[in-house]
Amino acid sequence: MPNLIRPIVLLSCLVALSGIVACSKPGNQPPAKAQGKSVDQATAGAISGHVVFEGTPPPPAPIKMAVDPACLAGGTPNPVSDAVLVGKAGELQNAFVYVKDGLDPSYTFETPTTPVTLAQKGCLYSPRIFGVQVGQPIDIVNNDATSHNVHGLAKTNQEFNRMEPMQGFRMVHTFTAPEVMVRFKCDVHNWMAAYVGVLAHPFFAVSKADGTFEIKGLPPGTYTVEAWHEKFGTREQKVTIGEKQTQSVSFTFTPAAS
């Protein structure tokens, strides 16, 4: 009887193995996920412009960093908030400008693998305002000789709260869904704040010290472009771009956001 069982067992194993091999043939693999279309760079255009502030900007709010002497090391003696940065001619820095609507959903975009660095330095976040694509890593680094915690107050994405207990400590975080804007705060130093715009596409920018911004590589079309500011709210404009065309737009903020 044992001599009969061995061939049967061997035959069963061979049948099972042939089934595995058959299932692993290229023709039986699940179909690859269809890729969307790419932007034709030969016809792509751009949006450039200015963000300005009209009126009297609020005075910079002082920060009471003396509660943690480590925050003052290497810093200014009378630190103030960088939430509102307005130039002499009304140039407004740190407005997040992005394509809010109008982009053909059949376009797909590669997710950048290079991390965006969010530094904690002098007990302030730097940069204060920035953007990433969904899935792009954010490298959050503690450059201070004190402890911080990184509290991401996401609503669409998952909220998180993690300690960075010492200088040199770092963590990497990625967001899984578009969300404008996600606030970062530090529960140890309550004046610390940063905001990130998370988008499914690369068409965003942050206004510079002179109020300028540029969004490149847009396919021809009509778009809703929004400018977001931490203190002054949002402004929107419709923009139509032809082939190889650069359209100029400007956004004006006032003390009372509408």
- 104-160 pLDDT, tens digit per residue, is 999 999 999 999 999 999 999 999 999 999 999 999 999 999 999 999 999 999 999
Q: What is the pLDDT of residue 23?
A: 32
- Residues 59 and 77: their CA atoms lie apart, in Å, by 17
3-state DSSP assignment of residue 132: strand
Q: What is the pLDDT of residue 79?
A: 87
Contact 147, 162 (CB under 8 A): no
Residue position matching structure tokens 């699940």: 30
The token pair at 207 is 């206004």
Supply φ then ψ for residue 6, to 5 degrees.
-60, -45
Domains and CATH numbers, the chain: 45-253 (2.60.40.420)
Question: What contacts 215, CB < 8 A, 6 or more positions away?
Answer: 46, 47, 48, 97, 98, 99, 203, 204, 205, 225
Please give the model's pTM, rounded to 2 decimal places: 0.84
| Residue 36: band (very low, low, confident or very high) from pLDDT cuts 50, 70, 90 | confident
Range 14-43 average pLDDT: 52
Does residue 41 surpass a pLDDT of 60? yes
The token pair at 20 is 């595995």
